[in-house]
Amino acid sequence: MEIYIAKNSGFCKGVEFAVNTALSVKDCNTWVLGEIIHNAEVVKAISDSGLKVADSLDEIPCGSTVIFRSHGVPKSYYDKCYEKRLKIIDCTCGFVKRTQIIVEKQSAQGNFIIIVGEPDHPEVVGLLGWCGEALVLNDVNKIPIEIAQKSLCVVCQTTFSAEKFEKIVKNIKKVCKKTVAVFKTICYTTIERQLETEKLAKQCEAMLVIGGLNSSNTNKLYELAKAHCDNVFRLSNAEDLDYSKIKKFKSVGIVSGASTPNAQTREVLLKMEESTEVKATNSMADVVAKIDNESKFKKGQIVQATISQATDEGLQILLPFSKKEIALSKDELDCENYNADEYMDKIGETIDLLVVELKPVLKLSQKMIKMLAEEEALSADIEAGKEFSVVCTGTNKGGLVSQLGTYQIFVPAKEIRPGFVKDMTKYVGKTLRLRAIEVRKTGRKEIIASQRVILQEEIEIKESAKQAKTEEFFATIAVGDVVEGKVERVTGFGAFVSVNGFDCLAHISDLSWTGTENVTDVLEIGKTYNFKVLKVDKENKKVSIGYKQLQPQPWDLVDEKYSVGDIIHGKVVRIVPFGAFVEVEKGIDGLVHVSQISYERIETPATVLNVGDEVDAKVIALDTELKKMNLSIKALLPEPERKSSHRQFNDSDEEESGNKKSRAPRRHNDDELSNWSEGSISVGTSLGDLIANAKKNK
């Protein structure tokens, strides 16, 4: 009997990652949402490890951890997990994530979604939760006429029959009158597995299809094999094998589904090997030899090995179907500190190992499995558009380069940041925040990424938030409002104050009633004060505020500080023909009338006083409402002796002389000079009366 084993058998990478992740979780408060894969033995192994299985999120207690299987879940499940404070371990297959993104975007653009697949399959159920209006098709001959006038987006369940998908798409295009966007979302490993199954079924007399009976992808392989071979046997495990039914065939092909662990295929082979008839034909030895040679291993493959010895240098292991021991260095074990004695108790146990190199010698590693599992999860997130970070290690002519696990990272120059980057070398050694543009997993593994899109989005979000905040600010602020603001920076003409995050200007002229040359003499940078809104310009988005408007004016406090009779010390600030103004304090001036400067008659105040002179004076009158203060210098001087007689000058003297002479000015006493205002002096009678009399006498 000739036995042919499909190269693409056993776990696909997505299923392998999900199973390994579930088996590696040690938290007893972790749940798997649904069966991790459609394989009873694997599900039992996960259950035996302590993980609990839930059919819905409602069964999982708040604060627990939930594992999403490789089939994916509806988008709403993520929000529900957030509400229940559930930590998510997302094992959704990368191909499924890609399909989710496609249907979400296409649905948002108004396209009607058609999912080709099994309506009850978990992957399809999950996809329906990522789009709006949608329809599931799995029958080549049942294309509803209702879709004829719709713009369509067609995707496929990742494990569906490629041949059947093509037929359904062809019939959809016959019915639909509008645009049909077709996305071939079948997993490439599924396609390869189906092609290989078809090839084996055509050349072999019998076929064994191994995998869980409820596994969709395994059932597709069974249907495909039956289409090209008359003798196809469906096995869930080695116990289902009845060798008597296949011993008559000269050639037997073996395939297994993506949710079938390699161990189950090996168990089938071992059971066939144990058969006397098979041993007698000597053909099984060739099969084992073939498995044990290059067809057995490929780079990146995970194999199970049995620990046979433990030494100071590492372990000796036995690979399946091999009697030859292979050395496994302690540096390749997934442990912090290697201790040979601890591994002596593990002799006979099996461990999973990754095939790292095939030539010149076979190199295996346990720690690389963990690293690749983490990398696979990360690459799935990266493919889904999640941000990731790397440190730039160098440049080339086209942009920046780095490394992420086994992936080469390339950032084109135009994707570094918004705008032109002249010197790319300054980014070497710096952390880059990236989002994938393209992920290449075949051949040289590479991720082409962009930092610009992240920075641009943040700029747009910031600008949008700023705009919204500005609109809200101007909708609520009004002239006369009293607001609280923090002094952010000062200039020669004022201070910029942050009021609810918006910059307002407090002009230097609105800081103090008495004026100031330096803003910092009144306001301190970093401190918060109250201000009054003086002007709001909504069109130009400007707000003027004042600080002095909330402070008392100097004259408001005069009554508390000064009274008639007080003696003050001040400085002459200006001189006018009728007197001198003395600065009592900043913002308060008092008038010393010319008649209150000296007991001696003076022609003008400038003959005895100069601007800048410091003088003492007595308050002789005070009116805070009119903001007037009368001062007297002479009141503080000794009064001179008065002369006993004075010649009287009157009208009769003029008549007797026969000449008309101007009347000599009449001297006014101190009480008559107590009422004054700048530019308008009352000394007993009003200045108007004096002028009228002067004209009359003239």
Catalytic residues: 123
Under 8 Å between Cβ of 227 and 272: no
Sheet holding 350-357, edge to edge: 325-329, 314-318, 302-311, 350-357, 363-365
- Distance between CA atoms of residues 460 and 466, nearest Å: 10
Buried b (16+ CB within 10 A) or exposed e, 529-541: bebbbbebeeeee
Helix, strand, or coil (residue 243): helix
Measure the CA dihedral 107/112/115/116, to 10°: -150
SS3 85: coil
Nearest-Å Rg of the Cα atoms of the chain is: 49
Q: Is 260 helix (H, G, I), strand (E, B) or coil?
A: coil
Q: How many residues does this entry show for the chain?
A: 698
CB atoms within 10 A of CB 12: 26
> How far is 457 from 433, CA to CA, in rounded Å?
12
Would you say 128 and 155 are in contact if contact means Cβ atoms under 8 Å apart?
A: no
Structure tokens at 341: 């004695």
How many CA atoms are closer than 13 Å to the CA of 243, on its beta-carbon side? Answer: 14
Give 247's DSSP letter.
T
Among candidates 394, 370, 410, which has minimal Cα distance to 23? 370
Pairing of strands 350-357, 567-576: unpaired
CA 50 → CA 32, 42, 90, 100, 208, distances in Å? 11, 13, 19, 31, 33
The region that residue 110 occupies, defined by phi over 0 for left and psi between -120 and 50 for alpha, beta otherwise, is left
Q: Distance between CA atoms of 612 and 248, rounded to whole angstroms?
A: 129
Q: How many CB atoms lie within 10 A of CB 501?
A: 12
Cβ distance 338 to 314 under 8 Å?
yes
**Cα distance between residue 403 and residue 432, in whole Å:** 12
**Distance (Å) of CA 59 to CA 47, 90, 524, 606:** 16, 18, 59, 99
Pairing of strands 494-499, 206-210: unpaired
Q: Which of 148, 123, 124, 152 is nearest to 136 (CA)?
A: 124
